[in-house]
Amino acid sequence: MSALLARALSVSAVGWQKMLTEGCSLEKALTFCLINQDQDLKAAVQSLLYSAVRQRAKTSLLLEKLVHKEPSPLNKAILSIALALLLEQKEKTFTVVNQAVEAVKSDPNNAWAAGFINAVLRNFLRNRSRLTASFETNLSARFNAPGWWISKIRRDYPQDWQSILTVQNKKPPLTLRINRAKTSVQAFLESLQAAGLKGQQIGRWAVMIEPACPVNQIPGFQKGLCSVQDAGSQLVTDFLSLKANDKVLDACAAPGGKTAQMLESCPLDVTAMEIDPQRAPLIQQTLDRLGLKATVVVGDASDKNSLKDIHEVDAILLDAPCTASGIVRRHPDIVWSRRPQDIALLASRQKKLLETLWEKLPAGKDLLYVVCSIFPEEGPEQIREFVSRHPDAQLKDKPGLEGGMLRLIPTEYEKNPVLPRNHDGFFYALLTKEPK
């Protein structure tokens, strides 16, 4: 990255300022600052912004010690990203300092700050040991999360909170879902080996590639032999019993990964509904790459009017909007963009979706509720309250879904042999509707 570093620092500083001042997501910041940029620069900027997010608590602590007067937003952004690089030690220190100075000089209106940036970064390098000594005892710096987030997980998981936060602060593996309609896991593993890539099966249809590589290097990806999907997210077809020609409603479908997974399992009549008209096209893009067909509609699944044209269904999948607290290692900005009050707001949204969709579900049929959250309010508490309100709702056992519910916490070493070995955090509940 060295040759691109100065340019990448300048561009990523724009995205970093947008995240801090406007509270936008990492994904939106990247979209904003990478318009019309070349592919090499895009990859470099993405890497820099992910590094900045993963080191955010530490660099904030360092800047408090290194800078006595609040720098301009631009210079603070450049310092934050450069310090993150120095902490990760993936680039030579003199290269990072030199290219940070060059990035500042490239802006005529900010060139005066080159000496300041140089002095701050060199001060850090001279005093690295002393300045980083507090990281281990400062929980926010250690786990790269705000205090309320750490306290919340500590209360909810008193035995596992440290392992959860540790895993969430790591880079995620490259996990694929193998398209069972086109190939087998064994055949796909053989194709990886022939291409000089290393893969291992970690779930029923899940393969992990180590080290990770760009998807365009994965054999068969463009032909639809596989899709990128965390192994913990691949349990839908294990828990939701589907048979050929069943009519299924995927109620919150974008970007279409679970829609595709169901269609790969057997021929189905799937209606994929998405409330966001900008995200709905992603479903069709996913289906087109895999050669699959579904009816894609834009609509709010919590609104009865959106469901009036959908006739009797055999199953409903509700992959509900949530805090995404279980997938932080893939979206490290979540811990900084979420607020404590978001949990109750999203739980209320989930409740409304459940109530509306339950009316749509015929007696004798199943609804699978899924969230990529580890917070109880969005998982077991949500479902227990729902069942208490609906005498016709029963939790349904399945292997790996004992008692009708499953809480997956982020782990690299799952102990339950029925479940994928490496996965993010999810909650599943399978509800069946009893005749009244």
DSSP string, 310-357: ----SEEEEE-----TT-TTT-TTHHHH--HHHHHHHHHHHHHHHHHH
- Of 292, 297, 212, 218, the C-alpha closest to 259 is 292
Residue 12 amino acid letter? S
Domain at 122, CATH number = 1.10.940.10
Element (H, E) at 371: strand 366-371
Asked if residue 373 is part of any domain, the answer here is: yes
Residue 158 covered by a domain: no
Residues 197 and 48 in one domain: no
Q: Provide the pLDDT for residue 386.
A: 98
d(CA 336, CA 49): 14
Q: How far is C-alpha 54 from the geometric centre of its chain's CA atoms? A: 14
Q: CA 336, CA 149: separation in Å to the nearest integer?
A: 9
Is residue 235 domain-shared with residue 204, that is, in the same domain?
no
Q: Is 123 a domain residue?
A: yes
Residue 145 inside a domain? The answer is no
The enclosing domain of 281 has a CATH number of: 3.40.50.150
In a domain, 332, yes or no: yes
Given 138, 166, 187, the domain boundary residue is 138
pLDDT value at position 39? 85
Question: How many angstroms separate the CA atoms of 319 and 262, rounded?
Answer: 13
Closest among 56, 60, 67, 50 to 121, alpha carbons compared: 67
In CATH, what number is assigned to the domain containing residue 218?
3.30.70.1170
* CB proximity list for 196: less than 8 A, separation 6 or greater: none
Q: Does residue 283 sit in the same domain as residue 401?
A: yes
SS3 178: strand
Same domain as 375, residue 335: yes
Residue 1: per-residue pLDDT: 58
Q: Which domain does 264 fall in, by range?
A: 231-433
Note whether 283 and 311 are same-domain residues: yes
CA dist 280 and 227 (Å) reads 18
The per-residue pLDDT for 3 is: 59
* Domain end point (choices 138, 162, 185): 138
Residue tagged 């205090």 (tokens)? 147
Residues 285 and 322 reside in one and the same domain? yes
> pLDDT tens, position by position, for the chain (436 residues)?
565 899 999 999 999 999 998 888 999 999 999 988 888 899 899 999 999 999 999 999 999 999 999 999 999 999 999 999 999 998 999 999 999 999 999 999 999 999 999 999 999 999 999 999 999 899 999 999 999 999 999 999 999 999 999 999 999 999 999 999 999 999 999 999 999 999 999 999 999 999 999 999 999 999 999 999 999 999 999 999 999 999 999 999 999 999 999 999 999 999 999 999 999 999 999 999 999 999 999 999 999 999 999 988 999 999 999 999 999 999 999 999 999 999 999 999 999 999 999 999 999 999 999 999 999 999 999 999 999 999 999 999 999 999 999 999 999 999 999 999 999 999 999 999 998 7
Domain assignment present for 165: no
**DSSP for 269-311?**
EEEEEES-TTTHHHHHHHHHHHT---EEEE--TTSHHHHTT--
First to last CA, the chain: 64
The domain tally of the chain equals 3
What is the Cα–Cα distance from 362 to 355, expressed in whole angstroms?
13
Inside any domain, residue 379: yes
Which of 33, 226, 322, 372 does the annotation list as catalytic? 372
Residues 210 and 239 in one domain: no
Residue 372 annotated in active site: yes
Same domain for 219 and 242, yes or no, is: no
Q: Could you check whether the bond before residue 410 is cis, i.e. omega within 30 degrees of 0?
A: no
- The pairing of beta strand 315-319 with beta strand 366-371: parallel
Q: How many CB atoms sit inside 10 A of residue 171's CB?
A: 11
Q: Do residues 343 and 396 share a domain?
A: yes
**What residues does 99 pair with on adjacent strands?**
none
pLDDT at site 436: 73
Structure tokens at 193: 């080996």
Residue 162 domain flag: no
In this structure, are 306 and 392 located in the same domain?
yes
Which of 228, 245, 267 finishes a domain?
Answer: 228
H helix and E strand count, the chain? 19, 12
Q: Are 366 and 306 in a shared domain?
A: yes
**Do 214 and 179 have their domain in common?**
yes
**Ramachandran bin of 23, using left for φ above 0, alpha for ψ from -120 to 50, beta for the remaining angles:** left
What distance in Å separates the CA atoms of residue 140 and residue 6, rounded to the nearest whole number?
29
- Cα separation, 177 vs 172, whole angstroms: 15
